[in-house]
Amino acid sequence: MKWWKKLLIAVGILAVIGVGLLGYGAMKVGDIYKEKILPDMQAYVQMTEEEQDQYVLSHMEDLMKSIRAEDEAVQLELEAIQNFPEAREAGLEVGRSMCAVLLSASDEITETLSAAEKAQYEKEAKDLDARSKHFEKMVEQYKALR
C-alpha cells in the first residue's frame, strides 16, 4: 500500500475520533448546563436585585475565570472588587450582564418572564461589552492606586 493511502486512512481515523470527542464534549456541556446553570438561572430571575448582587458576588471568581484565562488578571480583578468600591460596582454590573446573557439564551427561562423582565435582561446582556470596558478601567485605576 502506498504511503499516501496510509496517510489518508490515518487522517480518516483521526477525523472520526475527533468528531466523536467533539460530540461527547458537546453532550457534557449540555449536561452541565441542565444540571447547574439552568437551575441557577431559574433561581436568579426569582431573586430580588440585592439577592442577585449577592449571587453575582459569590460567583464572581467563576464568572471572571469564564471570560479570562489568566489567573493573575482574575486575581487582580477580584482584589479590586474587594478593595475598590468603583471596581466593585462595575464588577457587579459585568456579572449581572453575564447572567443576563445566559438568561437571554435560554428559552426555558425567558418564556416564564414578563415582557418588561425580558427587555431588562436583554438590555443588560447587550451592555456586557461596555460594562466590561468600564470594569477594566476601574481595575486599572485600582492597580495605579496600589
pLDDT at 62: 73
Task: Tell which residue, 72, 67, 98, 86, has the closest CA to residue 139.
Answer: 86
DSSP state of 47: S
pLDDT at 53: 86
Provide the grid cell at 109: 427561562
Contact 66, 102 (CB under 8 A): no
pLDDT at 131: 92
Provide the grid cell at 59: 460567583
From CA 103, how far away is CA 111, in angstroms rounded?
10
**Overall average pLDDT of the 75-84 stretch:** 87
Q: Is the pLDDT at 69 greater than 70, yes or no?
A: no
Return mean pLDDT, the chain. 78
pLDDT at 7: 56
- Give Cα 115 distance to the centre of its chain: 24
**Overall average pLDDT of the 100-120 stretch:** 87
From CA 105, how far away is CA 115, in angstroms rounded?
15
Provide the grid cell at 106: 435560554
Q: What is the pLDDT of residues 10-51, one digit of tens each?
A: 555 655 565 555 555 545 545 555 666 778 888 888 889 899
**Overall average pLDDT of the 83-95 stretch:** 91
pLDDT at 70: 61
pLDDT at 101: 86
**Who contacts 80 (Cβ-Cβ below 8 Å, separation ≥6)?**
87, 88, 91, 138, 139, 142, 143
Q: Is the pLDDT at 77 greater than 90, yes or no?
A: no
Confidence bin at 8 (pLDDT 50/70/90): low
Provide the grid cell at 34: 441542565
pLDDT at 2: 60
From CA 109, how far away is CA 103, in angstroms rounded?
6
Q: Is the pLDDT at 123 greater than 90, yes or no?
A: yes
